[in-house]
Amino acid sequence: KAGVTQTPRYLIKTRGQQVTLSCSPISGHRSVSWYQQTPGQGLQFLFEYFSETQRNKGNFPGRFSGRQFSNSRSEMNVSTLELGDSALYLCASSLGGQQNEKLFFGSGTQLSVL
């Protein structure tokens, strides 16, 4: 069974540009959540999608957005990039139907904003 796949693995952008990251969950998983990881702030929750609907949202500005498709694949978009957006972006999937489900993480997309 394939794990969670994130593409691309590395990305370099300049300030003001926008970027789209992709996450394919484990087959059968309907919940996808996104996290930002930086040395200074640690791992912070961005948002969660379940059955194409945003179910939860963290405290990030509106420049961060996401969506989920009918096949459960998810994309995250960051517009008007800032230097502080440089981070490892991780997505995690779970079955999504119950409270006590393990999260399965992808390897992440390392974004560098110059």
Partner 1 sequence: KQEVTQIPAALSVPEGENLVLNCSFTDSAIYNLQWFRQDPGKGLTSLLLIQSSQREQTSGRLNASLDKSSGRSTLYIAASQPGDSATYLCAADAGKSTFGDGTTLTVKP
Contacts with partner 1, residue ranges (CB under 8 A)? 4, 6, 33, 35, 42-45, 48, 56, 58, 88, 90, 92, 99-100, 102-108, 110
Residue closer to partner 1 (CB basis): 66 or 106: 106
Cα dihedral 4, 105, 38, 66 sign: positive
Beta strand 109-113 pairing with 10-13: parallel
Q: What are the beta bridge partners of residue 22?
A: 7, 75
Could you tell me how far CA 1 lies from the centroid of its own chain? 21
Residue closer to partner 1 (CB basis): 20 or 37: 37
Residue closer to partner 1 (CB basis): 81 or 106: 106
Cβ contact 11:110 at 8 Å: yes
Nearest distance from C-beta of residue 99 to partner 1, angstroms: 4
Nearest distance from C-beta of residue 54 to partner 1, angstroms: 12
Amino acid at 55: R
Nearest distance from C-beta of residue 92 to partner 1, angstroms: 8
Say how far apart CA 35 and CA 9 lie, in whole Å.
15
Residue closer to partner 1 (CB basis): 11 or 103: 103
Nearest distance from C-beta of residue 91 to partner 1, angstroms: 9
